[in-house]
Amino acid sequence: NAGVTQTPKFQVLKTGQSMTLQCAQDMNHNSMYWYRQDPGMGLRLIYYSASEGTTDKGEVPNGYNVSRLNKREFSLRLESAAPSQTSVYFCASMEPKRGYGYTFGSGTRLTVV
Residue ranges binding other proteins (CB under 8 A)? 31, 33, 35, 40-45, 48, 50, 56, 58-59, 90, 96, 99-107
Strands 87-94 and 31-37: antiparallel
Q: Considering beta carbons, is residue 58 or 63 the nearer one to other proteins? A: 58
Q: Considering beta carbons, is residue 53 or 101 the nearer one to other proteins? A: 101
Q: Considering beta carbons, is residue 19 or 45 the nearer one to other proteins? A: 45
Single out the residue of 46, 51, 53, 91 nearest to residue 69, CA to CA: 53
Nearest approach, Cβ of residue 22 and other proteins (Å): 16
Contact 72, 2 (CB under 8 A): no
The Cα diameter of the chain in Å comes to 42
Q: Considering beta carbons, is residue 40 or 53 the nearer one to other proteins? A: 40
Nearest approach, Cβ of residue 106 and other proteins (Å): 6
Contacts 24+ apart (CB under 8 A), 50-59: 50/96, 58/33, 58/34
Nearest approach, Cβ of residue 25 and other proteins (Å): 13
